[in-house]
Structure formats: C-alpha cells, structure tokens
Amino acid sequence: MKLLIFGPPGSGKGTYSSRIEDRIDVKHISTGDIFRSAVKGNTDLGKKVKEYLDSGELVPDELVNKVVKERLEGTDDFILDGYPRTVEQAKFLDGFMDVDAIIVLDVTDEITIERLSARRVCKECGEVFHRLFNKPKKEGVCDKCGGELYHRDDDKPSVIRDRIKTYENMSEPVIEYFEGKIPFVINRCRKADAPIDKMVDGIISQLEEKDILS
C-alpha cells in the first residue's frame, strides 16, 4: 500500500505516520529520511543533495524527484511524508507510481498555533517537551539533564502564521492536482489535545470503508 500524508506544521504528520505504521504495517518514510539515505550512501544524487543542504539552499524539484524515485522504486507498503511539495513533483510522482490514497490532516490555524507555541526545548541537550502532550516534571526544567527550557523563535505565533501560509500556498495546488485521481482520507481535528489514537482509528476506518486496506 502506497500512502501520502499532508498537513500543516504542527498537525502531527510524523506522529500520525508512526502510529499508522504500527497499525497497518506500512513504513513511514519522510523526505528527510530519503535525503539522509542518499547522502549517507554517497550516491551521485546524494552528493548533489549534500551540496544544496550544506549551502542552505532548497533542493530543486528535478533533483528531489530523482532522489525520491531512486528511494521508492521497488518499495511497497509505505506512508510518504513531505513529498510531493509542488505540482511539478506531484506530476512526476504520478508518472512513475500509483498511489493508493492521500491522508489529509485538516487542522485549524488556531490548533496549529496552540500546539507549536506550547513546545519547549532544552538549551543544554536539545530535548523537546510539550505543555500539552509531554510536560516536564518541573516547569521550565529539562527532565533529562536539568537544563533550562526555552521557547524557540520559530515556535512563536507570528512565525507560525507565516509557516502556515507557506504550507497553504505550496500544498493546496498539489492537493487540487490529485483531486478526482486518488481517494482522499480527511482527518479533521478540532481540539489541540485530541487523543492521537482516536484520530488514527478514524483514519483506519476510512481506509477500510474505501476498500483501500486489503
């Protein structure tokens, strides 16, 4: 089974994908995993990707497409997170692979801001805590090393709103491209602390109802 997952920052794509991975035996693959694998393998494509990553530049669509294709060819049963990000990438994927379904995490801007702005990071060891889902035992103090927890600049509401807008501008044309071609499973979350397992139950049920799970 080949699945794609879309969702704004803070929607929990990684968390949902990991839970779905456990439930229906698909592998969670992110573009980050794909890039790291290519770079680690020291392939020709991986070397080119590393040049862009090291310089802080965006990896061009053409190169992203080649790296993703190299990683996914012959691979079955996965949930892909972070690709395609552009219509050109969507067209490329559509040309070499049949996707069974697209999971869309429909989360309001308010929930996204509430979730991301509640994240705290340890200044010493980098451990991540969350005031809704993973609270430290002592407010402002890291459970792991006792370091001070801080609020990252990119987790502040004004920056989060910019990240949401960027996601919308990039993802909406991609989702529109696939509409009518591939079944969609929509997961609507309207509470910031909604139980993940219950949300995953809903996604699995929709996959079953659409005869996507065999």
So what's the pLDDT on residue 214?
Answer: 63
pLDDT by residue for the chain (214 residues), tens only, comes to 999 999 998 888 988 999 999 999 899 999 888 888 888 888 888 899 899 888 888 889 999 999 899 889 888 899 999 999 999 999 999 999 999 999 999 999 999 998 889 989 999 998 989 888 789 999 999 999 999 999 988 888 999 999 899 999 999 999 999 999 999 999 998 887 788 899 999 999 999 999 998 6
How much is the pLDDT for 25?
Answer: 86
Among 2, 13, 19, 120, the active-site one is: 13
Catalytic residue among 2, 19, 119, 120: 119
- pLDDT (0 to 100) of residue 44: 87
Active site residue 50: no
DSSP assignment of the chain equals -EEEEE--TTS-HHHHHHHHHHHHT-EEEEHHHHHHHHHHTT-HHHHHHHHHHHHTPPPPHHHHHHHHHHHHTT--SEEEES---SHHHHHHHHHH----EEEEEEE-HHHHHHHHHTEEEETTT--EEETTTB--SBTTB-TTT-PBEE--GGGSHHHHHHHHHHHHHHHHHHHHHHTTTS-EEEEEE--TT--HHHHHHHHHHHHHHTT---
Q: What is the pLDDT of residue 194?
A: 82
- Overall CATH class of domain 2-26+77-108+164-209: alpha beta
**188 has catalytic annotation:** no
- The pLDDT score that the predictor gives to residue 37 is 84
Q: Which of 27, 135, 152, 191 is catalytic?
A: 152
pLDDT score recorded for residue 102: 97
This prediction's pTM: 0.84
Establish whether 161 is a catalytic residue.
no
User: In this predicted structure, what is the pLDDT of residue 107?
Assistant: 92
Does residue 23 carry a catalytic annotation? no
pLDDT number for residue 134: 84
Q: Where are the domains of the chain?
A: 2-26+77-108+164-209
